[in-house]
Structure formats: structure tokens, C-alpha cells
Structure 1
Amino acid sequence: MKSFDIVTLTINPSVDKSTHFSGLVAEQKIRCKQPQFDAGGGGINVAKAISRLRGSSLAVFTSGGAVGEMLKDLVAKEKIDFETVETETVTRENFIAVDDNTNSQYRFGFTGDVLSDSEVQNFLETISKLKPKYLVASGSLNEGLSSDFYQKVAKIAKQSNSKLIVDTSGEALKKVLETGAYLIKPNVGELAKLVGAERLEMEEVNEAAKKIIAQGGAEIVVVSLGPQGAVLVTKDDYEFVPAPNVAKKSTVGAGDSMVGGIVWALSQNKPLNEVIRWGVACGSAATMNEGTQLFKIEDANRLFEWLKNK
């Protein structure tokens, strides 16, 4: 099998269906435009972002039923290498709709069905054979899946000498910190929960991130600040990058695009001050497109050039 420097994991992928309508009226039939279908789920979106940057990765994800077959077709159309773990349950779908009258976006997400113990074990065994330089664990967990799932992935990454990059939240992220990761990407609210604070002001973010690093939870903490940008923190450095002012059409996939830009830049041996700027550039560029399309490379390149001086 071909080896990959980057492997992305999506235990709970989806097919994302997006559409437009005019006027939301309760108890009336809402007529929608022809839907667009996209492969979704954290790790798959990260792989798509890397592909847009002319990088390569292997996307590992679960697939079940007719929706799972559609998901594989959609990933193949993106020209992304992938390996699937087949499941008895059907892959989930998500629905995104934009009201053209108000430009309001409505996002409906569904939980993934329960996986069997053997399917979960098969997924973990698949990961353990790959041994990439960078292993990206991103996205939500299926209904009923133990919150220590990503911690098990972290242990596999340690055994394989892979640098683990984690983008998840809640108890699943807390468990990862017990084993340790190379890089985590919480938002400010998630970071506050990780350090036991009710909330964090901007000037407290650096200290909170360094606390996680000092405890061995991660080597690098990237904190997403939404429309304000992001910060990258290591034990020695702190780098704040403001988000460029762009015309936003959709925030779907912006976080995954940021992770994709970060991982791609790391794989290209870029310095950390450029790594975080590629992340912010890709995340901001993703908001310029409708639905779940992520970003265009020309937008990401242009925003990165602007951010180089910021």
C-alpha cells in the first residue's frame, strides 16, 4: 500500500445536503432549489482542504448503506485517496438550508448510529497499520461511542510515532489530553472548560493554553477566535493572527479548513508563524463560499499573502 505523511480519521462522517429557499413559514410546504451534495465530517473535510492546497492525504472513514456508497463516490470525485471501514448502520446525512430572503443559514445535524464493538475495533486496527507522520482525528463521535475513543487513537499515535492533531470537543478532548497530542484546536469556550474556567478573556488565553502544554496535554495549542482570528501557543511562543475581513456566505467547514491549512503547512515544514497564517487564511477563505464547499485555493493564497505582514 502507498504510504502517506497525513492520515485523516472520520469515525462519524456524513453526506451534507445543501439548498436554498425563499421564506420560512411554519406548517407550509417550503419549496427548495436543487440540492448540492458534499462529503462531510471533520477528517474528510480536512482531507479536502489539504487536496485544495495541492497536498495529499489518506482519508479513513466509516461507510454504511446507500448513503455510505454516495459518500465514497463524493470523496473519489475530490481525487482523495481513502480507506473505509464498512458498517451495518447507514452513514448519516446533514442538511443545510439558506433563506434567500434574509440570507439566514439553517444547519440541521444528525447523530451517527451506534457502531458495533467489532466495527470500532476494525477502525482502530486500520489506523494502527498506517503509521503516518501526521494523524488527524477530527469531528463528532457516534451515538453510544465511548468518550475515550480519541484517547485510544492517541495511544496508537504514540506507539506509531505519529504526530496527533485533534479537533473535537467536550469529554472526548479532555480524555485525549490525559494521553497527550501534538496539536489541539479548541475554541475559547472549549479552552475555558479544559482548564476549569467559566470563561476566558483574550488576555487569559495564552496562560490557559500554556497550562495545558505544561501538563503534557499538547505541544501546540491553536485557539480559534472565530471572526477575530486565532492564536498559536507553544511552551515558548504566542502568535496572534487576526482574521481578514471577507464577505461571509457560510461558516460550514471553516474550522476544518483551518485544520487542513495547518496540517498541510506542517507537512511542508513551514515555520509556525506561517502555519497559523495558513490556517487562518484557509478558514477565512472557506467562509467566502456557500454551503459546504470549503475554500478556493486562489482565495487562500491571496489571504495568506495579506496575513504574512500581520
Structure 2
Amino acid sequence: MADNFPIATLTLNPAIDLSFAVDRIYPLHKMRGDSERHDPGGGGINVSRVIARLGGTAPCHYFAGGPGGAAFDHLLDRHQLVKRPIPICGSTRISTTVYERAGDAEYRFTTDGPEISPGEWAACLERFRSLRCSWLVLSGTLPRGVPDNAYAELAAMAAANGAKVVLDSSGRGLAGGLSGSGVFLVKPSLSELRAFTGEDLSTDRDIAQAAGRMVAAGSARHVAVTLGADGALLVGEDRHVRLPALEVERRSAVGAGDSFLAAMVFALSGGRAIEEAFRHGIAAGAAAVMTPGTGLAEPRDIERLLPLTGG
């Protein structure tokens, strides 16, 4: 299967992202919200959305089914994304983000999502045996029913077909995805890296050493650790780059990591060096923080912030 686009994304557990704002949250009371948004979400979907804003095209491969799947497909059409759904019997999940004005706090709710049958998983593998692209982004949590080594198996297929694989997951998705040797770049958050290593990682040196061990073990060629308000760290065989976060008005944390990854992969696909692509990621992550709800990074903000990264 060839889409003739350099980047493709896979989201095994996508979600309809619902967001709205309320004045104050009270238990047992009906609360009226406003500023309601419905967006297609999930790691790879968010990456494709940002890449589209940057002027690229990254076809979205994803499981979808039930009433939620039909609504999800409609939302992808609204964002003018190239759809490559993999049908399932279960219904696509809904994730909810509520912003409380009184407490200036954001509350995020999500569910496990549908369970994937062996036949549905086999259909996904069959597609990726023949998929051709230069960059494949494997992003998001693993749904129930999918094996722990799902991302490692997919990465091996993609690498054998000549793609560079980018992994962004957590828990068993991250651990299983790094159990092989086909990952070019992995992007854990600090909390995900701590869970993966079982270590506190309280200093920059600890974080860099943990990332370096992943590279030395052959799990990934490059590791970009996002540190939230403390910036990010890039580690490879011959590089160690530490950049601070940019100071911006914080409006939502939703999609900051996905925006970071999208801008970085888009820059890499355009031939930029990985250190320069890393700076694009820093700018995009900050741009996403400036955007309320599930809006993700805007190109005008990325462009404005990029010189502040030192690039």
C-alpha cells in the first residue's frame, strides 16, 4: 500500500475529544458549559492534524467503529485529513476536557476504549506489511486486545519497508515498542520515562543517563524526553541537547506533546538535522500550551516562537 506521502500515522485507540469550560465545578449539580469543541483525537491523529496545519499531509491509519467511529470519521473530514480507517466492532471512545474558570484548573477524563479482536488486529498487521512511507508515527495507548509488543512488531515491518519509525506511547505500549530494534526516535514524557525505568530520575543527569541507556541498548537511535515546564532533552549516540521551555501564557496542556512530535517529524521529513527539528518541537509544544481546549499548535505561533529556541 503506497499513499505517496512521506509521513503516515497510526492511532490504535483514537478518541473524540470533547472540551468545554464551566465557571465552577460542584458535585451533584448540573453545570452549564460553554466554548464547546469536538475534535478528532489520539496521539497519531493529533500529529496528523498539526502536520496538515504546517502544510504537509500525513494519512491517518486508525481503528474506528460503532456510532463513535462514524462521528470520528466526520470530524476527520472537517479537518480535511486523509483517512485510512481499520474497521472494528467496538465503538470509538470519547475523551473529555473541562476547564474550570474559578480555579483556573483543567480536568481531563478518558476511558479504556473498545477491545480489539484477534481478527481486527490481524487486519491491521496485514495493512502494515505492505505500507510504504518514509516516516511512520506510532502514537497513543494500546487498546485492550492488542498484544504488548504491538508497536515493536509494527516498527519492524515499517523499518523493513524502509521507513523511519517514531514511537510515542506509555505503559505497555512504550515498553513493548522498545522491545525490538526498529525505532528511530522515541518521545517519552518524564513521567513515562520514570514508569518505564522504575527510577526517580530527579536530575538532568539521571534523565540523560536513562535515555542514553535506551540508545545504547539499541531500543531507539534517538530519545526526546519532554519535561513539561522544564523543556526537553534530546539524546542520541553522539549528542545530548537540553533546551528550556519557552515562557508563554498557559491555556491548556492538551496536545502539547503531540504538537511537539508533529513539528519535529515534519522538520525531519523536510531534511532538517535532528537538533534543528528538536527546536521546532520545542516551539510547537509551547504553541500548543497557548491554545485553549483541544486546539493544538498553530503555525503562526510556532513561527513566532521558533527564534526563541536559539535556532
Which band: TM-score by shorter chain?
A: over 0.9
Alignment of 1:114-153 (within 5 A): 114-153=115-154
CA distance in 2 between partners of 1:57 and 1:230 (Å): 25
C-alpha distance after superposition, 1:165-185 (max 9, x if no partner): 000012221222221210001
The alpha carbon displacement at 1:194 in A equals: 3.6
Give the structure 2 partner of residue 274 of structure 1: 276
Give the gaps of 5 or more residues in structure 2. none
Aligned AA (1:222): A
Residue 12 of structure 2 contacts residue 142 of structure 2 at CA under 8 Å; is this kept in 1? Answer: yes
Alignment of 1:199-278 (within 5 A): 199-278=201-280
Give the gaps of 5 or more residues in structure 1. none
Aligned AA (1:44): I
With 291-300 and 72-81 compared, the bigger mean Cα shift is at 72-81
Alignment of 1:264-303 (within 5 A): 264-303=266-305
Aligned counterpart for 2:193 among listed residues 182, 191, 194: 191
Residue 112 of structure 1 contacts residue 141 of structure 1 at CA under 8 Å; is this kept in 2? Answer: no
CA distance in 1 between partners of 2:276 and 2:109 (Å): 34
Aligned AA (1:99): E
CA distance in 1 between partners of 2:136 and 2:122 (Å): 18
Residue 288 of structure 2 contacts residue 296 of structure 2 at CA under 8 Å; is this kept in 1? Answer: yes
Residue 3 of structure 2 contacts residue 132 of structure 2 at CA under 8 Å; is this kept in 1? Answer: no
CA distance in 2 between partners of 1:190 and 1:204 (Å): 14
CA distance in 2 between partners of 1:86 and 1:169 (Å): 24
CA distance in 1 between partners of 2:131 and 2:62 (Å): 14
- The alignment partner of 1:182 has SS state of strand
Residue 274 of structure 1 contacts residue 308 of structure 1 at CA under 8 Å; is this kept in 2? Answer: no
The alpha carbon displacement at 1:81 in A equals: 1.1
- The alignment partner of 1:35 has SS state of strand
Give the structure 1 partner of residue 16 of structure 2: 15
Give the structure 2 partner of residue 113 of structure 1: 114
Give the structure 2 partner of residue 163 of structure 1: 164
Residue 139 of structure 2 contacts residue 167 of structure 2 at CA under 8 Å; is this kept in 1? Answer: yes
CA distance in 1 between partners of 2:258 and 2:47 (Å): 5
With 28-37 and 264-273 compared, the bigger mean Cα shift is at 28-37
CA distance in 2 between partners of 1:91 and 1:191 (Å): 28
CA distance in 1 between partners of 2:25 and 2:173 (Å): 36
C-alpha distance after superposition, 1:133-181 (max 9, x if no partner): 1110000111233211112112212321211100001222122222121
With 83-92 and 124-133 compared, the bigger mean Cα shift is at 124-133
The alpha carbon displacement at 1:195 in A equals: 4.0
Residue 65 of structure 1 contacts residue 90 of structure 1 at CA under 8 Å; is this kept in 2? Answer: yes
CA distance in 2 between partners of 1:105 and 1:197 (Å): 28
Residue 94 of structure 2 contacts residue 111 of structure 2 at CA under 8 Å; is this kept in 1? Answer: yes
CA distance in 2 between partners of 1:292 and 1:275 (Å): 23
The alpha carbon displacement at 1:253 in A equals: 0.5
Q: TM-score, normalised by structure 1?
A: 0.95
**% same residue:** 33
The alpha carbon displacement at 1:33 in A equals: 2.0
The alpha carbon displacement at 1:124 in A equals: 1.7
CA distance in 2 between partners of 1:291 and 1:109 (Å): 15
CA distance in 2 between partners of 1:243 and 1:8 (Å): 26
CA distance in 1 between partners of 2:260 and 2:231 (Å): 10
- The alignment partner of 1:179 has SS state of coil
The root-mean-square deviation of aligned C-alpha atoms, in Å, is: 1.4
Q: Point out 4+ residue stretches in structure 1 off by more than 6 angstroms.
A: none
The alpha carbon displacement at 1:42 in A equals: 0.4
Match status 1:308 vs 2:310: yes
Give the structure 2 partner of residue 25 of structure 1: 26
Q: TM-score, normalised by structure 2?
A: 0.95
Residue 13 of structure 2 contacts residue 141 of structure 2 at CA under 8 Å; is this kept in 1? Answer: yes
Give the structure 1 partner of residue 37 of structure 2: 36
Instruction: Identify if the C-alpha distance between structure 1 residues 160 and 105 changes in structure 2 by more than 3 Å, giving closer, same or farther.
Output: same
CA distance in 2 between partners of 1:24 and 1:38 (Å): 23
The alpha carbon displacement at 1:213 in A equals: 0.8
Alignment of 1:90-101 (within 5 A): 90-101=91-102
With 193-202 and 167-176 compared, the bigger mean Cα shift is at 193-202
CA distance in 2 between partners of 1:290 and 1:194 (Å): 30
- The alignment partner of 2:178 has SS state of helix
- The alignment partner of 1:56 has SS state of coil
